[in-house]
Every structure is written in C-alpha cells, then in structure tokens.
Amino acid sequence: MNENLYNILMIDDHPIVTDGLEKLLSTHIQAHCMKANDLNTLKQVLTGTDFNLCITDLEFPGTDGFNLIRMIHEHLPQCPILVYTMHEEPWIATKLYESDIRNFISGAVSKHADLNEIPMAVNAIRNGQEYFSQSFSLLYGKRSRTENRSPYRTLSDREKEVLTYLMQGLSTREIARRMYLSINTIQTYRKRLLEKMNAKNVAELVSKCKGLF
C-alpha cells in the first residue's frame, strides 16, 4: 500500500457503490482505495492493514451495522469512520449518536444526498473535523426533542405485527407463513425490532414490550 496516498477502506456489499465512490473520490483527492464487499474479505483486510479513513454502509450481510462499526474500531482504533447509508430514520440517528457509536464515527452521509457531499465529508475528516450531512443533523435535532418518547412509537405497522406474533411465541417460519412474507423478510423485521427496542434477543424484546398491547 502506498504510504504517500490517502488510504481508504470502502465497505459495502454492492460493488457498484464502492466502484462509484472510488471513481468519484479519484477526481478530488489522491487516494488508494481498497474495497470489501463481503464479511470474509473485510476480516482479512482489517488484519494487519492500516487506513486513513473507512467509509462503511450500515447494511452488511453477516453482521449488524452497528456491530460492524465496533469491529472496525476494534481493529483500526485510530482510523476515522464515515457512515454512508440510505437509512435516514430517526432511530438510526439515535443509534449513531449513542455513546459508544458516537465515539467511533467521524461523520455520516445519506446515500440520498448530493454526491458532492462525499468528497466534502472526506476532506473535512482529513482536516481533523467531523461531517454529518444535513439530513442526519436534522434527525439528531428531532431525536433530541423526542428522546423521552417510547421507542415503541417508532415501529412501523409491519414491525408491530411481527412483534405481536413474537410475543405469542411464534417462530420466524410461522410468522412468515401467517404474514405471507419470506423468512428473510421476517428476519429483517426481527433485527430492526431488536435494534429499535435496544434488546439483545427476543426474550429481552418480549420482556420490554409487555404491557404495550
């Protein structure tokens, strides 16, 4: 790896995203980009490799997005992390600003934002600053005004329906059959429920949600 270049690790399971980011940044800065599009590749790259910046999505097969941030920080404690995600929900902003995650990241940019925000964010971080796109700043303000609000109110109708079935003791397969959805879709809803309700497992989720129905 060229030590004279700004070395960037790009993490996204869609190669078109990492390839696009590399092409975009190459027109703004002298950088060497390494890409990880799956968990095995990422684990190999994180072992014994130094980077000046890590740009990561929050959706990555094989691990929870926030655990992914923790894993990156564990292997690269001195490396700034820029989150690049399509998710702009208030609960995402809340998670990003939680104590441990907030200490690990240097910024967040929405995939819905103008592409020019990526080089702006990278340059800001190179200069020792932080960069949060306007959408995340606004969401954080909204989160601050509603931080005492029950997280249950942030659940979608589908998530509430899945939660109801989980509290009835139904398995993922049984819920998928009742809702006419795929097992993978139900697993995604379960994952979001655990994250939104800050529960480690379904048992804790059910315990926290007792009395809400």
pLDDT of residue 147: 47
pLDDT of residue 184: 92
pLDDT of residue 130: 87
pLDDT of residue 144: 45
Task: Report the distance separating Cα 163 and Cα 26, nearest Å.
Answer: 45
pTM above 0.85, yes or no: no
Half-sphere exposure of 57 (CA within 13 A, CB side): 24
pLDDT of residue 1: 55
pLDDT of residue 11: 97
Task: Report the distance separating Cα 112 and Cα 130, nearest Å.
Answer: 19
CB 128 within 8 A of CB 122: no
What tens-digit pLDDT sequence spans the chain (213 residues)? 555 689 999 999 999 999 999 999 998 888 899 999 999 999 999 987 789 999 999 989 888 888 999 999 999 999 999 999 988 777 777 777 765 788 899 989 999 888 888 999 999 999 888 888 887 766 655 444 444 455 666 788 888 899 989 988 999 999 999 999 999 999 999 998 988 888 889 988 888 787 555
Task: Report the distance separating Cα 191 and Cα 102, nearest Å.
Answer: 21
pLDDT of residue 132: 86
Return the structure tokens found at 42. 């990422």
Return the structure tokens found at 135. 């959408």
pLDDT of residue 146: 44
Q: What is the DSSP string of the chain?
A: --TTSEEEEEE-S-HHHHHHHHHHHHTTS-EEEEEE-SHHHHHHHHSS---SEEEE-S-BTTB-HHHHHHHHHHH-TTS-EEEEES---HHHHHHHTSHHHHHH-SEEEETTS-TTHHHHHHHHHHTT--EE-HHHHHHHHHHHHTTTS-GGGG--HHHHHHHHHHHTT--HHHHHHHHT--HHHHHHHHHHHHHHTT-SSHHHHHHHHTT--
pLDDT of residue 112: 87
